[in-house]
Copies of this chain bind each other. A is one copy, B any other.
């Protein structure tokens, strides 16, 4: 992975199922666009969102974070710069290891056995590129160690999250990411609600090689700064990008 996280403090999460703001120029100050969502998201609207960002901001890196393999195709992979797959520490077995092994089992299968399988990420990709696709995919794909901290969210339901972690457990998951699992990113996700700086403060001291992201409920300059000062490498801002561009602009630290 060649994403230069040193330069990234503000990430915009684009939900492909929601309308983009009238003026996409508000993205000017952000450092990375993350495309992904659950309800009503398809491969088609994902690709459209990626292409719109690419056409207006060709130098802005775009990361696809699919919630399902059906959101991914050769087209999305070719148009996005990176592909991230969450591994949810406080989710069920499927969302930390089960589905991932299934995915890589598909990836590893022989190309000619893959034609027509129901896993587009793999079938299409390998059919079009052959075995070299495996190393192509590996260079774009990385894992995110995830903690979902808002039970009443689509993300929590989807990943089988039954309880939020205490700050001590968040710290443990951060330390496990840094020293045991090799994910380059540790992501604290409050999905639609503001969790404050506590979990970020707990995780930050244990992360040195790992990038710390926080997402959820950031809708002001003060909240953005609070999370960054608590030790996050970058904040992820989603809802207000779609709903309230003025508020969104306030969350970009450099355009205060």
A residues engaging B (CB < 8 A)?
85, 87, 89, 92-93, 96-97, 100-109, 134, 138, 141-143, 168-169, 171-176, 178-183, 206
A172 to B105, CA, bound (A): 4
Determine if B181 and A143 form an interchain contact, defined as CB atoms under 8 angstroms apart: yes
Least Cβ–Cβ distance between A132 and chain B, in angstroms: 13
Determine if B89 and A171 form an interchain contact, defined as CB atoms under 8 angstroms apart: no
Interface class of chain A by DSSP: helix
Q: Note all chain B residues with C-beta closer than 8 A to A174.
A: 108
Least Cβ–Cβ distance between A173 and chain B, in angstroms: 5
Q: List 25 A-B contacts (CB under 8 A).
A: A85-B180, A89-B101, A93-B96, A93-B97, A101-B169, A103-B176, A104-B172, A104-B173, A104-B176, A105-B169, A105-B171, A105-B172, A105-B173, A105-B175, A107-B175, A108-B168, A108-B174, A108-B206, A134-B206, A138-B178, A141-B179, A142-B180, A181-B181, A181-B182, A182-B182
Question: A171 touches which one: B93, B108, B178 (CB < 8 A)?
Answer: B108
Q: Note all chain B residues with C-beta closer than 8 A to A172.
A: 101-108
Residue of B nearest to A106 (CB): B172
Task: Tell whether A175 pairs with B93 under 8 Å between CB atoms, given A109-B168, A182-B183, A183-B182.
Answer: no
Determine if A105 and B168 form an interchain contact, defined as CB atoms under 8 angstroms apart: yes
